[in-house]
Chain A
Amino acid sequence: MRLSPDEIILWQQGPLKLNATIAFTWALMVALAVGSQLITRRLTSEHHRSRWQNLLEIIVTGIARQIEEIGLSNPRSYLGFLGTLFLFVASASLCTVLPGFEPPTGSLSTTAALALCVFVAVPLFGIQDQGLRGYLKSYITPTVIMLPFNIISELSRTLALAVRLFGNMMSGAMILAILVTITPFIFPIVMTALGLLTGMVQAYIFSILAAVYIAAATNTRQPRPDNGTPL
């Protein structure tokens, strides 16, 4: 039984290879980029605007509002990274309704790559926000004893991110495949709808957790604007 679209090799030349994961990722990238470009090339700042522009504005402002509610005061700085995470995972889940489509997020390589990106982005945003010294100091706060626990926390949550998304997406696709084999009617449709829901939930969870990690690396040591005491 095939657990990952990585196993579908479309082309290989030495260490370079083109598997289904990369191919479907490219397809998603092209769809997202071209779709966005088609919609945004006719943007207007008038009060009356197109439905597609309204849709994109709702999506972008919704993501920005979620980021802000997490505690990141300047959501536009994190919108590119966190918004792309959500849109990529969500669009991969939505496209599972297309026949023959293998979600790239069903590959542990993809989820690991996304988790690695989060793993790298968190300290980068932390250093950008409070400087290298301030960020590193957070690992030994309140005491040096916390340093190994913090490091373990960073690694484990990265691993958890990758495995959680992979497990959910892979299990959904696998259950769907098994049900199609057993009962080709009714149940696959229900499970597909359920898969769409779980996919959207996973995209939301992945993005929110990344935002929480970034917020923990940036905002946690910033004083509250109301009373000035550190969090």
Chain B
Amino acid sequence: MLIDWFTVGAQVVNFLILVWLLKRFLYGPILAAMDAREQRIAQELADAATGKAEAQKERAEFRHKNEQFDAQRATLLTRATEEAAAERQKLLDQAGKDADALSAQRKESLSKEARAIHMSLRRRTQDEVFAIARQTLTDLASASLERRICEVFLQRVCELEGEAKIKLTEALQSCSEPAMVRSTMDLPADLRAAIQNTLNETFSADIPLLFETAPHLVGGIELTRHGQRVAWDMADYLTSLDRSISHLLGLKDPSGEATEPEPPQSQTRSTIT
């Protein structure tokens, strides 16, 4: 018979033992290892998902911060630009003011310098004119300038008439104080005596005189008393020269009016006020 029942029983037992052996050494360990790996992969996937979620959260946070930073930067940049523009305008205004001040200061300085030069030139011209006149008179007429001035002055006094002479006479006789005779140069004694005699004769009184040297008089001599004055000097000549020079230099008159050259007067003028 093909079936041996002892063998059948033995094979049943053998098969059951084999089932146990394979469960013990094959299926159990393999399935446990696979389960562990699957669990590990699942854990890694969960960790990755968690990390991804955190990364997305941080990304969103960083994006939000970046947007805030951009907005803040734009605001700061705008503010800085506006402040820079304002500062620039302020500096430009200040620079304009400073430039104007410097220009005015320079103008003033130039004006002062021109006036100083003008005064110096005037003084120098006066001296030169004196010297030339003195030398001319000495060489041509054998007369000194001072003496000639005195003669002209005394001639003016003698030629006084009318209301001017009356007022001057009243002024000279109304007070016991001496009348003031000012001259550019120091008058010698003979000229002083001549002036004293001429005045005494002209006004018919003994007029006390006080001689004084006055450098401000431009080459002249004056008699003043209580606001009355009779004088002769070269101021008019010099004024005319001054105007010509100022016009030549393009300067303004110290009085502020444009100077126009005037022809020098051909004769001396006396002023009685």
Contacts and interface: CB of A to CB of B under 8 A. Distances in A.
B11 to A, nearest CB: 4
A171 to B, nearest CB: 13
A117 B10 CA distance: 12
Given A56-B26, A56-B30, A108-B2, A32 B14 contact: no
Interface SS of chain A: helix
A37 to B, nearest CB: 4
A40 B15 contact: no
A197 interface: no
A23 to B, nearest CB: 11
Contact of A45 (B6, B15, B25, B36): B36
Contacts of B62: none
Interface in B12-47: 12, 14-19, 21-23, 25-27, 29-34, 36-37, 40
A33 B37 CA distance: 24
Contacts of A17: 6
Interface in A82-137: 83-84, 87-88, 104, 107-110, 112-114, 116-117
Contacts of A47: 37
30 contacts: A3-B2, A6-B4, A16-B6, A17-B6, A19-B7, A21-B4, A21-B7, A22-B14, A25-B14, A29-B17, A33-B25, A36-B25, A43-B29, A45-B36, A45-B40, A57-B34, A60-B30, A61-B34, A76-B31, A79-B27, A83-B22, A83-B27, A108-B2, A109-B7, A109-B8, A109-B11, A112-B3, A113-B7, A113-B12, A114-B15
A134 B149 CA distance: 169
A81 B20 CA distance: 9
A230 interface: no
Give me the 6 closest cross-chain CB pairs, A-B, nearest first.
Answer: A113-B11, A45-B36, A109-B7, A40-B29, A36-B26, A36-B25
B3 A109 contact: yes
Contacts, number: 120
A53 interface: yes
Interface of A: 3-4, 6, 15-17, 19, 21-22, 25-26, 28-29, 32-33, 36-37, 40-41, 43-47, 53, 56-57, 60-61, 76, 79-81, 83-84, 87-88, 104, 107-110, 112-114, 116-117, 166
B254 interface: no
A95 B25 CA distance: 21
B7 A110 contact: yes
Given A84-B18, A108-B3, 11 more contacts: A3-B2, A32-B22, A57-B33, A60-B30, A76-B31, A79-B27, A83-B22, A87-B22, A88-B15, A112-B8, A113-B7
B153 to A, nearest CB: 136
Interface range for B: 20 to 34
B227 interface: no
B188 interface: no
A53 B33 contact: yes
A33 B10 contact: no
A43 B11 contact: no
Nearest to A87: B22
A53 B29 CA distance: 10
Contacts of A16: 6
Given A60-B30, A80-B22, A104 B11 contact: yes
